[in-house]
Amino acid sequence: MEKRQELYAGKAKSVFATDDPDRVVLQFRDDTSAFDGERMESLARKGMVNNRFNAFIMGKLEAAGIPTHFEQCLSDTESLVKTLTMIPVECVVRNIAAGGLVKRLGVEEGRELSPPTFELFLKNDALHDPMINESLAETFGWATPQQLAEMKALTFKVNAVLKQLFADGGLPLVDYKLEFGLFKGRIVLGDEFSPDGCRLWDAKTRDKMDKDRFRQGLGGVIEAYEEVGRRIGVDFT
Ligand code: CDP
């Protein structure tokens, strides 16, 4: 496999072509963004930590029968993944009320959500990722009803696997965001799963162990990501 030209640079990751059109290299950078890219900072070791974290989680999800784009780690900060046509819709599941839900509906932060909620957002920084629904996604051609149904089922299947995995590490999985794409016509989990795209609280202290540490200027961001990784068995060496 030969790494070729950069195809795309996102806020925290870059994508490179390879000699195989069905495979691209995902490079995890140290760049950290919040508030739709309004705040950017470089955090040492973040690229390595998120690359290893994501590889570990994608492995667990594949083992549970969830199709993912992940193929293999290539280096500390690079992974080989399937080339997807991304669906511009973010799927969010919440087990505990926090973040946008608390702001929007005025519910109490920390309230257990039973059953867990499922929300769709349009991936569009300029519009601040507005909330959408199945009807809008179908009308504007962002995803078909069949694709949306499959994305929803897979997002909840991920919840079953990861809620348990993190709970075993003393870390309630508060909420998370997933993105999917198409590979040869099939829905596949893309993007990454790391503390950048989910909320995890320490079960005892209720300390935030995720990107909220960056958003809220609490410090110790990467130390918290590493601690989460250690508790669930990620190998950072
Ligand atoms: O975090 P924020 O208030 O912007 O939005 P949210 O709807 O409360 O986010 C729910 C979950 O999805 C959190 O774990 C966020 O970190 C994650 N998320 C994300 O990773 N990327 C986005 N563009 C929006 C949410």
Quick one: pLDDT band at residue 209, thresholds 50, 70, 90?
Answer: very high
The secondary structure of the chain in percent helix, strand, coil, rounded to multiples of 5, reads 30, 35, 35
Question: What is the Cα 77 distance to its own chain's centre?
Answer: 16
* pLDDT (tens digit per residue) in 15-49: 999 999 999 999 999 999 999 889 999 999 999 99
The Cα–Cα gap between 36 and 125 comes to 5
Quick one: pLDDT band at residue 237, thresholds 50, 70, 90?
Answer: confident
Residue nearest to atom 6 of ligand 1 (CA): 100
> Could you tell me the pTM of the whole model?
0.97
Q: What is the pLDDT of residue 188?
A: 98
Predicted confidence (pLDDT) at residue 199 exceeds the cutoff of 90: yes
Domains and CATH numbers, the chain: 3-82 (3.30.200.20), 85-221 (3.30.470.20)
Residue nearest to atom 19 of ligand 1 (CA): 197
Q: What is the pLDDT of residue 114?
A: 98
Predicted confidence (pLDDT) at residue 170 exceeds the cutoff of 90: yes
Instruction: Tally the residues of the chain.
Output: 237
The Cα–Cα gap between 154 and 187 comes to 9
* pLDDT (tens digit per residue) in 59-100: 999 999 999 999 999 999 999 999 999 999 999 999 999 999
Cα(197) to centroid(ligand 1), Å: 6
**In the chain, beta strands by DSSP E:** 3-9, 13-18, 23-28, 31-34, 39-42, 70-73, 78-82, 85-96, 112-122, 131-132, 173-183, 186-189, 198-200
Sequence-separated (6 or more) residues with CB below 8 Å from residue 105: none
Cα(93) to centroid(ligand 1), Å: 10
The response to whether residue 197 sits with its C-beta less than 6 Å from ligand 1 reads: yes
| Residue showing tokens 């897979």 | 154
* pLDDT (tens digit per residue) in 180-191: 999 999 999 999
CB-side neighbour CA atoms (13 Å) of 109 = 8
Instruction: Tell me which residue of 212, 206, 210 sits closest to 229, measured CA to CA.
Output: 210
